[in-house]
C-alpha cells in the first residue's frame, strides 16, 4: 500500500502566512483519487497483478518450479490412472500450492503467474496502439472536417459493423498463414503479434470516434478560435490547445480498455484462435478446464477466479480514475 502513496501527504496550512498555492488539475485529481478508498484498494490489487507478472521469474525461482515441466508425468503418485490429480482440490499440496494440471501434470500456480504476463503484454500493447491510432485519426478527422471527416466516419462505421469476435477468430489464422507455411509451427511471438495486430485493426475505431466527437466540440470553443485568429499553426493548436483538453477522455477510455482486452484475448484463446500450448495463458487454461471440469473443477476455477478478480479490480480502478479526473460525471 505504501508504494502507492509514495507521494507524501502535503502538510496543509502548515504556515498560515505562506501564500495559497495553486493546485494543478493533475494534483486535484490525485487528491480526489487518494480519498477514494475503493479506488486505492483496487489500484493495490491491480498493482499486485502487475508485480506478479513482472516478477514471474523471481517467483518461479523462489517457488522452485516452472510452468512447462510436466511434474505429474515425471513423478508417480501425483496423477491417478486417468490422468487426474490425486490430492484434494486438483492436487493441492505443500509442493503444488494450487494443484497440478490434469493430463500433463504441470504446476497450476506457475501457469497462472506466467499467464498474467501473456495477458498483460498483449492487452497493454493493444491499448497503446489503439489509443495512439485512435487519437491520431480522431484528431485529424475532427480538426480537418469536411471530406476527410466524412471518409474517416464511413470507415469507422464499416469497422464497427463487422462482427468483431467472429472476425478475430476467422482472421487470426489467416494472418498467421501469411507469414508461416502451413507445415511449419507458428512461433509464439508471431501468434501474440497477430493477436495484437488484429485486435488493433478493429479496436482503434471506437477510440477515434470518441476523440473525433470531443475535437468537434472543442474546435468551436473560443480559445481554439482565437488561437486560429492570431495565426497559430495547426500543429500547435492540436498539441497545445486540443490535446491537453483530450487527456481526460483518452485516459478514461484507455483505463477501461485494458480489462476489456484482457478478456478478449482470453476469449480468443478459449475459442482456439489466440495463444496455444505450451504458452501459459488464462484463456487457454480455461479452455482446457472446460474440457475436464466435471472431473477436476479446480483447474477451471483458479484461472477463472484470477481473471475475475483482475478484471473486477481494473474496472473499479477505471471507475475511480474517471471520478477523479472528471468529477462532474455522475455514475
Partner 1 sequence: MLRFLIRRTVSAALILLVVSAVTYLLFFALPSDPALLACGKQCTPQLLATIRHNMGIDAPVPVQYWHFLVGVFSGRSFGAASCPAPCLGYSFVNGQPVLQTLLNRFPATASVALGAAVLVLTLGVGAGMIAALRRGKAADKVAMGLALIGASMQIYFFGIVVRYIFVDQLAWLPLPGYTSPGASLSGWAGGMLLPWITLAVVNVATYARFTRSSMLESLSEEYVRAVRAKGLGPWGVYVKHAWRGAMTPVVTMFGIDLGLFLGGALITETTFNIPGIGKLAVDSVADSDLPMMMGTVLAASTAMVLVNIAVDACYAVIDPRVRAL
- Residues lying near partner 1 in the complex (CB under 8 A) are found at 157-158, 161-163, 165-167, 169-171, 173-174, 177-178, 181-182, 259, 263, 266-267, 270-273, 286-287, 289-290, 293-294, 297, 300-301, 304, 307-308, 311-312, 315-316, 319, 330-331
Asked if residues 278 and 105 have their Cβ atoms less than 8 Å apart, the reply is: no
**Relative orientation angle of helices 164-177 and 188-219, to the nearest 10 degrees:** 130
CB of 135 to partner 1, least distance (A): 23
Asked if residues 137 and 127 have their Cβ atoms less than 8 Å apart, the reply is: no
CB of 274 to partner 1, least distance (A): 12
CB of 132 to partner 1, least distance (A): 23
CB of 207 to partner 1, least distance (A): 17
Query: By C-beta, is 63 or 84 nearer to partner 1?
Result: 84
Residue spans of alpha helices (H) in the chain: 25-35, 37-54, 56-63, 71-74, 88-91, 108-144, 146-161, 164-177, 188-219, 222-229, 234-236, 243-270, 282-292, 297-325
What are residue 79's phi and psi, to 5 degrees? -115, 145
CB of 111 to partner 1, least distance (A): 16
Query: By C-beta, is 63 or 171 nearer to partner 1?
Result: 171
Nearest Cα residue to 251 out of 13, 30, 5: 30
For residues 331 and 316, what is the distance between their CA atoms, to the nearest angstrom? 12
Query: By C-beta, is 144 or 158 nearer to partner 1?
Result: 158
For residues 215 and 19, what is the distance between their CA atoms, to the nearest angstrom? 37
Query: By C-beta, is 113 or 317 nearer to partner 1?
Result: 317
For residues 247 and 306, what is the distance between their CA atoms, to the nearest angstrom? 31
Query: By C-beta, is 78 or 108 nearer to partner 1?
Result: 108
Sign of the torsion formed by the C-alpha atoms of 33, 39, 40 and 44? negative
Query: By C-beta, is 242 or 324 nearer to partner 1?
Result: 324
CB of 297 to partner 1, least distance (A): 6
For residues 192 and 169, what is the distance between their CA atoms, to the nearest angstrom? 14
Query: By C-beta, is 26 or 174 nearer to partner 1?
Result: 174
CB of 139 to partner 1, least distance (A): 25
Amino acid at each position: 500500500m505504501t508504494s502507492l502513496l509514495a507521494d507524501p501527504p502535503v502538510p496543509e496550512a502548515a504556515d498560515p502566512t505562506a501564500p495559497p498555492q495553486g493546485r494543478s488539475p493533475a494534483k486535484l485529481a490525485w487528491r480526489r483519487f487518494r480519498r477514494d478508498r475503493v479506488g486505492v484498494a483496487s489500484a493495490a490489487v491491480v498493482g499486485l497483478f502487475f508485480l506478479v507478472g513482472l516478477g514471474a521469474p523471481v517467483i518461479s525461482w523462489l517457488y522452485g518450479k516452472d510452468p512447462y515441466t510436466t511434474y505429474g508425468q515425471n513423478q508417480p503418485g501425483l496423477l491417478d490412472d486417468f490422468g487426474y490429480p490425486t490430492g484434494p482440490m486438483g492436487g493441492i499440496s505443500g509442493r503444488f500450492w494450487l494443484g497440478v494440471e490434469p493430463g500433463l501434470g504441470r504446476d497450476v500456480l506457475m501457469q497462472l503467474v506466467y499467464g498474467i504476463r501473456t495477458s498483460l503484454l498483449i492487452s497493454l500493447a493493444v491499448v497503446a496502439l489503439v489509443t495512439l491510432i485512435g487519437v491520431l485519426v480522431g484528431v485529424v478527422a475532427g480538426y480537418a472536417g469536411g471530406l476527410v471527416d466524412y471518409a474517416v466516419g464511413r470507415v469507422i462505421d464499416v469497422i464497427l459493423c463487422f462482427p468483431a469476435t467472429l472476425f478475430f477468430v476467422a482472421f487470426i489464422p489467416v494472418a498467421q498463414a501469411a507469414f508461416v507455411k502451413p507445415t511449419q509451427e507458428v512461433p509464439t511471438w508471431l501468434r501474440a503479434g497477430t493477436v495484437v495486430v488484429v485486435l488493433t485493426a478493429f479496436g482503434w475505431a471506437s477510440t477515434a470516434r470518441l476523440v473525433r466527437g470531443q475535437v468537434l466540440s472543442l474546435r468551436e470553443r473560443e480559445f481554439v478560435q482565437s488561437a486560429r485568429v492570431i495565426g497559430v499553426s495547426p500543429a500547435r493548436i492540436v498539441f497545445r490547445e486540443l490535446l491537453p483538453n483530450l487527456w481526460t477522455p483518452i485516459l478514461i477510455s484507455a483505463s477501461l480498455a485494458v480489462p476489456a482486452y484482457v478478456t478478449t484475448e482470453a476469449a480468443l484463446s478459449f475459442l482456439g484462435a489466440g495463444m496455444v500450448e505450451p504458452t501459459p495463458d488464462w484463456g487457454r487454461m480455461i479452455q482446457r478446464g472446460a474440457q475436464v471440469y466435471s472431473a477436476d473443477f479446480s483447474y477451471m476455477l483458479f484461472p477463472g477466479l484470477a481473471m475475475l478478480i483482475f478484471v473486477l479490480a481494473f474496472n473499479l480502478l477505471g471507475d475511480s480514475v474517471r471520478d477523479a479526473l472528471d468529477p462532474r460525471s455522475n455514475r
